[in-house]
Structure 1
Amino acid sequence: MMVQSKAARLRRAIIAWVTVALFVFPLYYWITVAFKNGRDIFNQPPKVFNFSPTVANFQEVFGVSFGLPRNEVLAGGGDFFMAPHLWSSVVIAVFSTILAVAIATLASYALSRIYFRGRHHFVNWVLSTRMMPPVAIAIPMFFIYKDLSLLDTYLGMILIHALMNLPLAVLMLKSFFDDIPTEIDESALIDGASRWKIFRRIIFPMAKGGVAATAVLCFVFSWTEFLFALTLTQTSLKTVPVVSSTFVTSVGTAWGNMAALGTAAMVPAFIFILLVQKQLVRGLTLGSLKQ
């Protein structure tokens, strides 16, 4: 039996490592492309490990020398200078996430705790807005933004991304609040606490994990959103997904520069997830043990 148990553990370990490798290898290969020169990128067979790393792609994308000699092209940022666009994506994703989560937290608590006529239909309406394809409102939103002078502005992009993430945030947070027993609210109400005091001092601290999990998803969706960023921005303000398409030129695709930008674009998302890692794990497991 011990031999069979060890064999079973070994099989599970092999399956687990193979599964991890299948998911990690494409990411690893993409990152290595960012550190390859043009010859190594297109080498056949592909050079997975044995290549000479270079930071030239990052130099051209971000216009920094990393302590190495810097020519006039790099000093001007090169043809693919993307540092301002990366900063724009960070600003839009962070503030749209804060706005969406702040509104959704209050709305979802109200939907979870306050009973009113038509509450069920209101929840279904919120869900239906998430089902609507963004392309259906892209053109109308363009003309609305044009009349309001919101095209190519941070405020406009923050509002549209918050609006895009709001239905998902409300539905997710409502499920987290539903998992918190209503007896807690009732006991606090008997003791004379107001709804706002109950929410601020009792319920919200208990739902921090759910708020963190919702914030991560809102941030990722805003960070990777393409359609609204393409239609509602024109020249000065563009996000990373939009400017990534400019790497495909008439003479070919700048794979090294594109990989450098993609690798750098992963960093803010990873940092944000690490900052809320503890709350994220708690939020994703909240209610999993509820009978």
Structure 2
Amino acid sequence: MMGSTSREVVRAVVAWLLVALFAFPIYYWITVAFKPERDIFALPPKLFDFNWNLSSFEEVFGISFGFDKGLEVLPGGGNFYMLPNLWASIVIAVLSTLLTVIVATLASYALSRMRIRGQHHFVFFVLSTRMMPPVAIAIPMFFIYKNFGLLDTYTGIILAHALMNLPLAVLLLKSFFDDIPTEIDEAALIDGASRVLIFRKIVMPMALGGVAATAVLCFVFSWTEFLFVLTLTQTSFKTVPVAASTFVTSTGTAWGNMAALGTAAMIPAFIFILLVQRNLVRGLTLGSLKQ
């Protein structure tokens, strides 16, 4: 009895140490956003005892957070005004995720339930497109987009991100649909239900967890994507990862402003994950138990 208790204590300690190990870089990055420049490079590093300020956030959001004056819009938006870039990232990530999930759900259901000649070869082809590095198609996509007038447009980046995420989404959702017994479909077909009705009313509610898990991955990949945005946009807008690479001044990199933007960029991703949290847990455990 004592031996099992000791093992549980050791496991709990190891688990908390691992959590601290992975959480510390996030904590340090957030504290950099609130530090004055002289404390960012202090040795030894100041983890707790530093002068908190909001100057980095003020420059990034173009708003003064003075406690005596309340919120005040800064003229010119500050030196590193990034609010439009944050909004562009949200729009692109949400719409590309929505497009990817809709297309991938229909394709993966068809691959899971319908027998098509050469189906295994098609699945391998979908997987192979994900293996190809994005840099291999960045330049061809640039010329294609230029000919179709999609350069520097939201539509072009949304399509590019959907193309990037679609292979992974199809394969993930196919595995979730495969875990749902086909006997359910067959029983509904015998009762006179159509394929569309079965998909909408029976299969989709059971696969919502898998859809949520896939949507989270697609959102994160789109939110952090750098190469396509850098290649396919020029002047109109930049997403957060590309905009963060421009935080350079005559004295070096503006680490405080970059950390403020990175801290703010974490919030939409956390909110999206919280919105689908209930279905996400179901999706991560779907298929873990077999009959």
Match of 1:9 in 2: 8
Shift of 1:251: 2.5
Given the alignment of the two structures, is residue 203 of structure 1 paired with residue 203 of structure 2, yes or no?
Answer: yes
The 3-state SS of whatever aligns with 2:185 is helix
Distance 2:286 2:107 in 1: 19
Matches within 5 A, 1:1-291: 1-2=1-2, 4-68=3-67, 74-291=74-291
Distance 1:77 1:164 in 2: 33
Distance 1:248 1:118 in 2: 52
Change (3 A) 1:66 1:250: closer
Distance 1:67 1:176 in 2: 50
Shift of 1:9: 2.3
Distance 1:249 1:55 in 2: 19
Query: RMSD in angstroms over aligned alpha carbons?
Result: 1.6
Shift of 1:6: 3.1
Shift of 1:5: 3.2
**Structure 1 residues 239-278: Cα deviation after superposition (integer angstroms, max 9, x where no partner):** 0000111013442010100000000000000000000001
Distance 1:99 1:245 in 2: 28
Contact 2:56–2:260 (CA under 8 A) maintained in structure 1: yes
Distance 2:16 2:117 in 1: 52
Distance 1:121 1:10 in 2: 49
Counterpart of 1:182 in structure 2: which amino acid?
A: T
The 3-state SS of whatever aligns with 2:236 is coil
Distance 2:249 2:53 in 1: 23
Mean Cα displacement is larger for which, 207-216 or 16-25? 16-25
Change (3 A) 1:236 1:115: same
**Structure 1 residues 23-76: Cα deviation after superposition (integer angstroms, max 9, x where no partner):** 111110100000000011111111100111111100000101124569x99421
Counterpart of 1:201 in structure 2: which amino acid?
A: K
Shift of 1:18: 1.1
Shift of 1:79: 2.0
Aligned length: 290
Distance 1:7 1:203 in 2: 45
**Structure 1 residues 147-185: Cα deviation after superposition (integer angstroms, max 9, x where no partner):** 111111111111110111000000000000000000000
Structure 1 residue runs of 5 or longer lacking an equivalent are: none
**Structure 1 residues 64-106: Cα deviation after superposition (integer angstroms, max 9, x where no partner):** 1124569x99421222110000000000000000000000000
Distance 1:153 1:206 in 2: 37
Distance 1:80 1:96 in 2: 27
Counterpart of 1:132 in structure 2: which amino acid?
A: M
Distance 2:181 2:260 in 1: 48
Shift of 1:113: 0.2
Normalised TM-score (structure 2): 0.96
**Structure 1 residues 131-159: Cα deviation after superposition (integer angstroms, max 9, x where no partner):** 11110110010011111111111111111
> Identical aligned pairs, as a percentage?
76
The 3-state SS of whatever aligns with 1:246 is coil
